[in-house]
Structure 1
Amino acid sequence: MNYSYATQKNKKEHFIPTMEINKKLGTKKMYSFFLATVFIALEALVIALLYFYLYEYRIGQEFDRDIVFWDMASPRFVNYSIFFVISSIIYIYFMYRYKIFRFRSQSGLADEIFKVAKAYSVSLLITIGVSFLLKYTDLSRIVIASYWIAAIISSSIVRSIKRFIYIKLAKEGILSKNVVIVGAGKFGKSLMEELSTYKYLGYHIIGFVDDNEQDDFEQYKNLGPISKLNEILKNNLIEEIIITIPSERELVNKLITDLRKLDINIKIIPDLYNLVMSTVQIGNINSLPVVTLVKTPMRGLGLFAKRIMDIIAASILIIFISPIYVLTAIAIKLDSKGSIIYKQQRIGRNGKTFSMLKFRSMVSDADVLLKKLKNKNEIDGIAFKMKDDPRITKVGKFIRKYSIDELPQLFNVLIGNMSLVGPRPPLPHEVERYGDWEWRRLEVLPGITGLWQVSGRSDLSFQQWMSLDIYYIENWSIAFDIKILMKTIPVVLKGEGAY
């Protein structure tokens, strides 16, 4: 690419923003610092009141009389106070280590709460060890355990309130971070979409600079070529620059050299798309930086939350729709010969085979007839779909249209070989023809419903199925699952695209 900035003469310029811009920037930083301090103080106050209330309540029960927790003459009060101070100091250390002290968050709420729980857990374990060394053994285990649970819950509530207020302020532009994107290629456009999707990150994109792009990108303004970046910085309140053209090393080095004299954060998006379109984690082995390829965001606390949601929702649904199970079973038995439940071998996570449960919607020798119908497949690819499939029974046609035949898979969800949301589990003969790209569908648990089901169901081509499934895997979140489940309801009720 021919970026004009890199070919300019090396002029010695001092890029000093106007006093007005510096004043606004200082005000925004002070406001953010003030709000962070307020919420840290609020969290500390709530935790302290909880801790000493639990102490007062427990000691009062033990001695069968009212105890005032500010009675400093009591040796037990002194011991409990020392325990609280030590655990608080350790918690503050972990709060700074995990970077959960800022008002502007660097991660999602679930991740922040997980770090809070981890910080409290580790700090209390260390403090318990220190208490034994200091021979403070008269501490109530009930008080400590109750404090641990109450602290996590109350801190999570405070941080949820903080997050709500922050998002409101960020949307109004009061606390959002003004950013300019350098480069509007594949990386730059993907970044702009990412920052606009996740509002909690608090970025306000002023625009982008690029030598090869002439038009605006969606709602984002093209500010001109990269050579005008210095002028843009002089005349606008910019707090961060994100460079998305890492392959242009000469240009990146020039930008960093010129911009590092400014009080502006500079970030570079590494060229990782050529690895695989997937999530990565940045870490290190001793002093060496390392990029770890992560197959899917569906891991850790998020994966645990997804599994809990699956179990609870599947259990409730099974109880709630039990009359439908009974009526469907009777209708199938009266309509045609054969079993009520059809067990079909499917391929699940990491290529493992399992028996997927369905209400039988076809004649008993459907698998044999399939061989005769192969040349009548109505979709591209390796899957088989046919609108007027002669194997489908009268009852089967109805229950397939409204996805009633899929309801027994709620038991697959309880067992753990399926999820409520995920790619549909393929047949073994389909997987045999998978390439590396299609195999990515098997990196997660298959689901009863998924992104392609709410985007056209059987009316989509095989390639579209694959693209939507892989998009789901790479962009998964609990909120995404809930959104898909909500969209599934009207799609199923309308009975569109299912055959």
Structure 2
Amino acid sequence: MSYPFATKTSNNMLPTLELNRKLENRKNMALIMAFCFMIIEIASFTTLYFILYEYRISQEFGESINLFTTNFPRFMNYIIFFAISSLLYLFFIFRYKIYHFRSNSGLADELFKMAKSYSFAVIITIGISFLMKYTDFSRLVVIAYWFSAIVLSAVLRILKRLLYFRLANNDLVCKNVIIVGAGKVGKSLMDELTHNKSFGYKVVGFVDDHDKDDFLDIQNLGQTSELNLLLQKYIVDEIIITIPSERELVNQIIKDFRKLDIKIKIIPDLFNLVMSTVQIGNINALPVVTLVKTPMRGLGLIAKRIFDILTASVLLLMISPVFLITSLAIKLDSEGSIFYKQTRLGKNGKQFGMLKFRSMITNAEAMLKSLENQNEMDNIVFKMKDDPRVTKVGRFIRKYSIDELPQLINVIKGDMSLVGPRPPLPKEVQCYGDWEWRRLEVLPGITGLWQVSGRSDLSFNQWMNLDVYYIENWSLGLDLKILIKTIPVVLKGEGAY
């Protein structure tokens, strides 16, 4: 990268030589990763060919493995298959933009695109081989090659990501950036980049025509009119504009600096919409921002449902002894049924019967009216630490959330999910406003963000905020994190009553 007027340096900035070293680091690491991917493909393909095909033939028919005589034509057919699939794989990784050493997407998304690239490459190669009448292929070799390539590439991409984070944290591959605008969006961006060095950005400073004070440890470099002088003084990779509403200023910056080898990025003026998921698209040539209720849709929703069914089924089998012991304890402790079925509202306000182990006396609902003035929550939900309706066994199973285990049956039936907002009572929903109604946009869950963030010790508004945050930022990775965090929270029995 060359800067025509980068003649000065500052004590608090890297010199040109240091920047060039960083650029070389990024290029070298990208080349090393590409070389590693190539080695993985060649090694996995040839190894599988000899182990699964040639060795098996030699064992079954007594043929000796001799690559350069009788088996060479057959081996060349596989080489052609491998070459075509590899070229197609390269096409797809460029198509999905997952060839960079610095990934712009999450790990799960990157691995999904990688697996999709390999799958498309192999399927298309099989079709091409059929048209070219190359049909003497072992299905075992092809399937094993496809599977092993995906697994090994996934491992390598995970290692690549860890290596990148390590290098970024040591400022070895980071990009120098100047932020234009120190408003709400600009300060939020500076805070993110400062506290997440793994993003690979080093904030040189910011320019703003109104705010004169430094922010955190980031220097106010002056006004936007001084950008030209600042680019002569500092070495900068990117300019990020956070005030797109000032169109004349943005147009002037683009006009002045687009001829330079500096990336210009603009953050859309959608800060008030960050609490809603947005999807970027277009209608013909016009760019369009679509508001989406939740990313929990399409293939992601299908994957979540499959994960719920499989996990809930396995858990039911594993904890069947707990079911038996709890059922006996409830029967011996108090009169009444083992299970308690309560009407709750699920997705889009649909009613369903939520199952729980009974933890209260049989006339608990009738006693509720006399206890309402002792509610310890600050809103419509009733919670009471020393609730006299709770039995001895009920107090124990509530503390460790054992009473919630029958809801695994609700998960399998499709009324609930493993992770999501807790299903509310119909009378609670009657008091909901538009904000609270957002909780009903997805299936309710057995556990959720508020359960791993304080459980009953949180206020009602905190519940709502955490539930809405989950809905708007859902991913399978987030579900897994919540499930893992639920285990120690439940074992400690904190905040549950």
Match of 1:42 among 36, 56, 70: 36
1:374-385 alignment to 2 at 5 Å? 374-385=372-383
Aligned position for 2:243: 245
Look up the match of 2:56. Answer: 61
Say how many residue pairs are matched: 486
Specify the code of the residue in structure 1 equivalent to 2:435.
W
Q: Does 1:288 align with 2:277?
A: no
Q: Distance in 1 between matches of 2:42 and 2:118?
A: 14
Which residue in the other structure is 1:107 paired with?
A: 105
Alpha-carbon contact 2:8-2:232 (below 8 Å) kept: no
Give the structure 2 partner of residue 126 of structure 1.
Answer: 124
- Structure 1: stretches of 5+ with no match in the other structure: 1-13
Moved more, 193-202 or 129-138: 193-202
Contact 1:298–1:477 (Cα < 8 Å) also in 2: yes
Q: Report the equivalent of 1:18.
A: 7
Partner SS for 1:103: coil
Does structure 2 retain, via aligned residues, the 8 Å contact 1:16–1:262?
no
Aligned partners of 1:60 and 1:67 also within 8 Å:
yes
The one-character-per-residue Cα deviations of 1:350-370 (angstroms, maximum 9, x if unpaired) are: 333332221111222323333
Amino acid at match of 1:164: L
Query: What per-residue deviation string (whole Å, max 9, x for no partner) do you get for residues 51-101 of structure 1?
Result: 123233314423532334566973322322222212111111111111111
**Equivalent in 234, 257, 273 of residue 255 of structure 2:** 257
Helix, strand or coil: the match of 2:452? helix
TM-score under structure 2 length normalisation? 0.87
RMSD: 2.9
Residue deviations 1:230-271 (CA, integer Å, cap 9, x gap): 343333232111111111112212222222232111111112
Contact 1:52 1:69 in 2 (8 A): no
CA contact (8 A) 1:108 1:200 kept: no
Bigger shift: residues 208-217 or 255-264: 208-217
CA distance in 2, matches of 1:387, 1:178: 53
Partner of residue 4, structure 1 = none
Q: Is 1:423–2:412 an aligned residue pair?
A: no
Instruction: State the distance in 2 between where 1:185 and 1:78 align.
Output: 62
Map 1:437-452; keep pairs closer than 5 Å: 437-452=435-450
Q: TM-score scaled to structure 1, two decimals?
A: 0.87
Which stretch of structure 1 is more off in the superposition, 191-200 or 463-472? 191-200
Q: Secondary structure at the match of 2:461?
A: helix
Distance 1:60 1:496, change over 3 A: closer
Structure-1 residue corresponding to 2:403: 405
CA deviation vs aligned residue, 1:326-366 (integer Å, no higher than 9, x gap) = 33322322232211111112222333333222111122232
Q: Distance in 1 between matches of 2:324 and 2:368?
A: 29
The Cα of 1:170 is off from its aligned counterpart by: 1.0
CA contact (8 A) 2:422 2:447 kept: yes
Alpha-carbon separation, structure 2, partners of 1:150 and 1:128: 17
SS of the residue 2:269 aligns to: coil
SS at 2:239 equivalent: strand
CA distance in 2, matches of 1:227, 1:477: 42
- The Cα offsets for residues 429-457 of structure 1, whole Å up to 9 and x where unpaired, read as 22233222212222333222222223332
172 and 69 in structure 1: CA distance in 2 versus 1, 3 angstrom threshold? farther
**Partner letter of residue 104 of structure 1?**
R
Rounded to whole Å, the distance in 1 between the matches of 2:301 and 2:219 is 38
Structure 1 pair 493–122 and aligned structure 2 pair: CA distance change class (3 A)? closer
CA contact (8 A) 1:418 1:448 kept: yes
1:217, 1:195 → 2: CA distance? Answer: 12
Residue 165 of structure 2 corresponds to 167
Secondary structure (helix, strand or coil) at the match of 2:268 reads coil
Deviation at 1:31, TM superposition (A): 2.4
Instruction: Indicate the larger mover: 292-301 or 331-340.
Output: 292-301
Deviation at 1:29, TM superposition (A): 2.5
Matching residue within 65, 87, 95 for 1:97: 95
- What are the ranges of 5 or more consecutive residues in structure 2 without an aligned counterpart? 10-14
SS at match of 2:250: helix
Report the counterpart of residue 8 of structure 1 in structure 2.
none
Q: Deviations over 1:205-235 (max 9, x none)?
A: 3333333434444454444443443343333
1:211 aligns with 2:203: no
1:72-471 paired onto structure 2 within 5 Å: 74-195=72-193, 200-275=198-273, 277-299=275-297, 306=304, 310=308, 314=312, 317-471=315-469
Note closer, same or farther for the CA distance 1:118–1:469 as it changes in structure 2 (3 Å cut): same
Percent identity, aligned pairs only?
62
